[in-house]
Amino acid sequence: MPRSVEESCAALLRAGVDAHAWLCSDDRVMTSPVPARFERRGVPTEVSHANTWADPRGVIRLTRALRRLGKGAVLHTHGDRALLWGSVAARLTGARHVHTLHGWIDNDLLDRRRNDRVRKLLAAVDAVVAVHPSVHASGIHIPNTLDPRRFARDTGDPETLRRHWGLSPGDRVYLFLGRLSEEKGADRLALIQSRLQSSSAAARLFVAGSGPLLPGVDAMTDVRFLGERSDPAAVLAAADAVVMPSRREGLPMTALEAAAVGVPCVGFPAGGLADSGLAVTTPDGNVTALVDTAVALVREPGLRAEALRQSRNALEGEYGPSEHARRLVAVYEGPPDA
Give yes or no: residues 14 and 138 share one domain: yes
Q: Which of 270, 5, 331, 271 is nearest to 132 (CA)?
A: 271
Give yes or no: residues 15 and 155 share one domain: no
326 located within any domain: yes
Give yes or no: residues 91 and 182 share one domain: no
According to the model, what pLDDT value does residue 232 have? 95
Percentage of the chain with pLDDT > 90?
76
Give yes or no: residues 9 and 109 share one domain: yes
pLDDT digits (tens, 9 = 90+) for 304-338: 999 999 999 999 888 999 999 999 999 999 864 43
338 located within any domain: no
Q: How far is CA 91 from CA 95, 96, 283, 331, in A?
A: 7, 9, 46, 18
CA count, 13 A, side-chain hemisphere, 61: 14
Count of structural domains within the chain: 2
209 located within any domain: yes
According to the model, what pLDDT value does residue 334 have? 81
Give yes or no: residues 88 and 200 share one domain: no
92 located within any domain: yes
Region of poorest pLDDT, from 74-78, 107-111, 151-155, 170-174: 107-111
Q: Which residues pair with 23 in a beta bridge?
A: 47
The CATH number covering residue 113 comes to 3.40.50.2000
According to the model, what pLDDT value does residue 338 have? 39
pLDDT digits (tens, 9 = 90+) for 24-46: 877 654 457 888 899 999 999 99
**Which domain covers residue 237, as residue numbers?**
149-316
Task: Report CA torsion sign: 162, 164, 165, 166.
Answer: positive
Higher-confidence position of 40 and 54: 40
Give yes or no: residues 216 and 295 share one domain: yes
pLDDT band of residue 53 (cuts 50, 70, 90) is confident
Give yes or no: residues 118 and 254 share one domain: no
Give yes or no: residues 109 and 141 share one domain: yes
According to the model, what pLDDT value does residue 318 have? 87
According to the model, what pLDDT value does residue 268 have? 97
Give yes or no: residues 74 and 112 share one domain: yes
Do residues 307 and 280 touch, judged by C-beta distance below 8 A? yes
337 located within any domain: no
Cα–Cα dist 140/313, whole Å: 23
Q: Which of 98, 43, 125 is nearest to 328 (CA)?
A: 98
20 located within any domain: yes
Give yes or no: residues 129 and 213 share one domain: no
Give yes or no: residues 175 and 99 share one domain: no
Give yes or no: residues 207 and 327 share one domain: no
Full-model pTM:
0.90
Cα–Cα dist 178/197, whole Å: 22
Higher-confidence position of 26 and 275: 275
